[in-house]
Amino acid sequence: MIQPPLALLAELTHRCPLRCPYCSNPTALTRPGEEVDTATWARAFAEAADLGCLQVHLSGGEPTARRDIEALVRAASEAGLYTNLITSGVLLNGTRLEALVAAGLDHVQLSIQDAEPVSADRIGGYRGGHARKLEFARHVTAAGLPLTLNAVVHRQNLDRLPQMIALALELGAGRLEVAHVQYYGWALANRDALMPSRAQLDAATAAVEAARAAHRSRLVIDYVVPDYYATRPKSCMGGWGQRFLAISPAGHILPCHAAESLPGFAFPDIRTTTLREAWEASEAFNRFRGTGWMPAPCQGCSRAEADWGGCRCQAFALTGDAAAADPACALSPHHALLALALEDADRAGEAFTYREPGRLPAAPACPPVD
């Protein structure tokens, strides 16, 4: 029996004033005129609640670039969903936040690029962005909303993780997500400039463990480590078609936000397909659902129903085959590709290819699949 999803990621737009080089949006960005309209989003939220979703994450791009964001929050809230706004904060102020709260906003997840302002603005490609983020964070806590800080960490900011933890405490955040870059979309194109060293990763892990012990009663810290140093894969998004679904700005209903990077799929469109039909019956959701599709050594592995074969987008990015065993697993015949990628990163500089509409960066070349 197919269980209902727990959450919907609503990617409302690809528009964003920031140009983060680690962005997981696809390199071919959806144009504003192709975005799903307000009424269709409202129907999607009602269908998500009927399907069993408990929460909706309103994301992008920058979701507040849409002028109808208050109407969208209201529609999601009226559908009975817990509403989480995932934002850069740079387009918001106290007045706009009050309108979002009145519409039914429950939670804010605010991205930061660093704790040091000059570095943060360089990484985000937006002058003055860090100061605007801090100002908005204070509006959030003053309004009584729960605040999560999302710190995407990588080679060029990871040494300041202790300062980012201190910033979360200073701003009154209840949760901090320390998320090592996951290499899809623009992040894959910038992999060599973003990949941390093993020494940086070990120091970051120690900093998180120390902060968890020191601030247990004040701050919850979620920690997402990079697969490139792993020996076993993560359960990506809880497993393909297991706990999560997403809708892209163009209306594609997806098992994960990066799934459009995979060739050979005809993803359902929210304009012509209900969420229930997509979740339960579409070939796209069923292709990698469960364990029957798995190749060796995943098939029959004792962890098959724990990690669900790892990440299909990562398998494709590294091997060119979405059905291959995730190279993050030490048992995968492709595990050595991770070591090769780390060697390339060791030789790379720090220049970024920034996320920009119409700009198509070159991704790292994939070795041929044996």
Strands (DSSP E) found in the chain: 7-11, 55-59, 82-87, 107-112, 147-153, 175-180, 220-224, 244-247, 253-254
Q: What is the pTM of this model?
A: 0.94
With a CB cutoff of 8 Å and minimum separation 6, the contacts of 342 are 195, 228, 229
Q: What is the pLDDT along the chain (370 residues), one digit of tens a residue?
A: 899 999 999 999 999 999 999 998 998 899 999 999 999 999 999 999 999 999 999 999 999 999 999 999 999 999 999 999 999 999 999 999 999 999 999 999 999 999 999 999 999 999 999 999 999 999 999 999 999 999 999 999 999 999 999 999 999 999 999 999 999 889 999 999 999 999 999 999 999 999 999 999 999 999 988 889 989 998 888 999 999 999 999 999 999 999 999 999 999 999 999 999 999 999 999 999 999 999 999 999 999 999 999 999 999 999 999 999 999 999 999 999 998 888 888 777 788 999 987 665 655 544 433 3
- What is the rounded distance in angstroms from the CA atom of residue 211 to the CA atom of residue 229? 22
- What is the rounded distance in angstroms from the CA atom of residue 175 to the CA atom of residue 168? 8
82-87 and 175-180 beta bridge pairing: unpaired
- What is the rounded distance in angstroms from the CA atom of residue 136 to the CA atom of residue 141? 9
Nearest to 130 by CA among 111, 117, 148, 119: 117
- What is the rounded distance in angstroms from the CA atom of residue 251 to the CA atom of residue 94? 31
pLDDT digits (tens, 9 = 90+) for 203-243: 999 999 999 999 999 999 999 888 899 899 988 889 999 99
pLDDT digits (tens, 9 = 90+) for 289-322: 999 999 999 999 999 999 999 999 999 999 999 9
Considering its fold, how many domains does the chain have in total?
Answer: 1
- What is the rounded distance in angstroms from the CA atom of residue 231 to the CA atom of residue 343? 17
Cβ atoms of 282 and 255 within 8 Å: the answer is: no
Alpha-helical (H) ranges within 55-197 are: 69-78, 94-103, 117-124, 129-142, 161-171, 185-189, 191-194
Q: What is the CATH number of the domain that holds 177?
A: 3.20.20.70
Look up the domain containing 357 and give its range. 1-369
Nearest to 341 by CA among 364, 362, 311: 364
In the numeric block, which tokens belong to residue 226?
């990079």
Nearest to 176 by CA among 193, 155, 152, 195: 152
20 in a known ligand binding site: yes
How many other CB atoms are found less than 10 A from the CB of residue 303? 15
Q: Measured in Å, how far apart are the chain's first and last C-alpha atoms?
A: 36
In the numeric block, which tokens belong to residue 183?
């290499």
| DSSP single-letter state for residue 24 | -
Task: State the DSSP string of 331-352.
Answer: TSTTTHHHHHHHHHHHT-----
23 in a known ligand binding site: yes
16 in a known ligand binding site: yes
Nearest to 314 by CA among 354, 344, 341: 341
User: Which residue pairs from 32-39 have beta carbons closer than 8 angstroms and sit at least 24 positions apart in sequence?
Assistant: 34/249, 34/250, 35/66, 35/249, 35/250, 36/12, 36/247, 36/249, 36/250, 36/251, 36/270, 36/271, 38/68, 38/71, 38/72, 38/75
